[in-house]
Structure 1
Amino acid sequence: MTRAASLISLVLHPMMVTPATFGLLIYTGSSIPENSHLLFIIAFFFSTILAIATVYYMKQKGIVSNMDVSIREERVQPLVFGSIYCGLGFLLLKYLDAPALIQGLMFCYAFNTAIVWFITRKWKISIHAIGLSGPLVALWLHGFHLPIFMGIALVLLCVSRVILKVHTPAQVIAGAGMAMGLAYVQLTLLFL
């Protein structure tokens, strides 16, 4: 059971979901931007590569214990950097006049990561659940209406995190609910 849970947690890891979501938003739909490759590289670099490189550096320096940053107290600093990186990515995507949903998702990553870093100072919320729920909202708004598949993926991820004993049910439910609610409000009110 824990082997399956570990596999699900790896496949649906935020650093896997993020580039896949940006790829779907950029390369599918009725109007693919002319500068689609550049937009994807920017989104991938600012949302994923910089975050992984930062955590790797912090692990090498002994600032964090592992690449998952599983200890709550160690999460704040990587989250601060992640929020800054995504904020810079958002500004660059805005400057390049990326489609609204792509700008919006990067904004969500920046803003919601800042919220998570404040929550994390007092309580461990599921970043895995957040990292899947927000992108699912963006994909839904883009036209991927696959509620059964999306729901199953989210439930499997949340249950996996509980089985692995890295989160409580409350932490995964709070993460999923917060990310869905914030992403929907931010994307529909500010970008669409």
Structure 2
Amino acid sequence: MLFDLKRFANFISWVINPVVVAPAVYTTIVLLGYRADPHNISYLMVLFLSSTIVPMLLIFGLKKIGKVSDYNITFREQRFLPLLVLVAINALGYEFMKHLDAPALLSGILLFNAVNMVFILLVTLQWKISIHLFTFTSSVALLFLQFGAVSLWLLLLVPLLMWSRIHLKAHNFMQTLIGGIVGFSVIFTELKWWTGL
């Protein structure tokens, strides 16, 4: 049997997916980086609800009522509403983090998730940036800020993710490249300034 490239590309796109990558990274940062903090599980729950659970329910609901055609929201025109809702959800999560007096890095994640969603939303009006690449490289930047250069080996997965998105015709080369570069550089700069690291 010939190797099914499309099936492999789909597998990569589902494994290195925003709703998979973000919770994995947040769990690593909170449970390893803040394991001595007695409120670490509360921080993790706010991050999960804001960045994973509510977005998944939102996309599932929009798919069910026909507002989006697929769970990856392939069509640019369908991204505006979910992105707008995600801005509000992450902003609300940031307020919860402030109430918990969370470490600056953790509150900053949700604050700049909201800010960057606005950026992606504005870009989406004219162009289709890769949210897969944006989320993955920004997640690597978070790990880099928390754990140092050892995290950067994960960037070796970037070409594979770019290939999968291009092979599936979800994006072209520039949409994946810009998504990856902007994702890493923007969140790194924002959180470096926010935390004073």
Same-fold status (TM-score > 0.5): yes
Task: Name 1:87's counterpart in structure 2.
Answer: 91
1:146: Cα distance to partner?
A: 2.9
SS in 1 for 2:149: coil
The residue correspondences of 1:70-149 to structure 2 (distance < 5 A) are 70-146=74-150, 149=153
Task: Name 1:60's counterpart in structure 2.
Answer: 64
1:173: Cα distance to partner?
A: 0.8
1:47 to 42, 45, 51: 51
Task: Name 2:175's counterpart in structure 1.
Answer: 171
Following the alignment from structure 1 to structure 2, what is the Cα–Cα distance between the partners of residues 91 and 84? 11
Give the root-mean-square deviation of aligned CA atoms: 1.5
Q: Is the 8 A contact 1:134 1:183 kept in 2?
A: yes
Q: Is the 8 A contact 2:137 2:155 kept in 1?
A: no
Task: Name 1:16's counterpart in structure 2.
Answer: 20
Following the alignment from structure 1 to structure 2, what is the Cα–Cα distance between the partners of residues 101 and 157? 26
- The amino acid that maps onto 1:189 is W
Following the alignment from structure 1 to structure 2, what is the Cα–Cα distance between the partners of residues 24 and 147? 11
Q: Deviations over 1:112-145 (max 9, x none)?
A: 1111011011111100001101111010010152
Deviates more, 1:35-44 or 1:138-147: 138-147
Q: Give the gaps of 5 or more residues in structure 2.
A: none
Q: Is the 8 A contact 1:33 1:99 kept in 2?
A: no
Q: Is the 8 A contact 2:140 2:152 kept in 1?
A: no
Label 1:88 to 1:57 Cα distance change in 2 as closer, same or farther (>3 A). Answer: same
Label 1:30 to 1:77 Cα distance change in 2 as closer, same or farther (>3 A). Answer: closer
Q: Is the 8 A contact 1:17 1:135 kept in 2?
A: yes
Q: Is the 8 A contact 2:104 2:194 kept in 1?
A: no
Task: Name 1:191's counterpart in structure 2.
Answer: 195
Q: TM-score, normalised by structure 1?
A: 0.94
Label 1:32 to 1:100 Cα distance change in 2 as closer, same or farther (>3 A). Answer: farther
- The amino acid that maps onto 1:49 is I
Q: Deviations over 1:8-53 (max 9, x none)?
A: 1111100001111110110113653211111111110111111111
Following the alignment from structure 2 to structure 1, what is the Cα–Cα distance between the partners of residues 95 and 160? 34
Following the alignment from structure 1 to structure 2, what is the Cα–Cα distance between the partners of residues 105 and 5? 29
Structure 1 outlier segments of 4+, above 3 Å: none
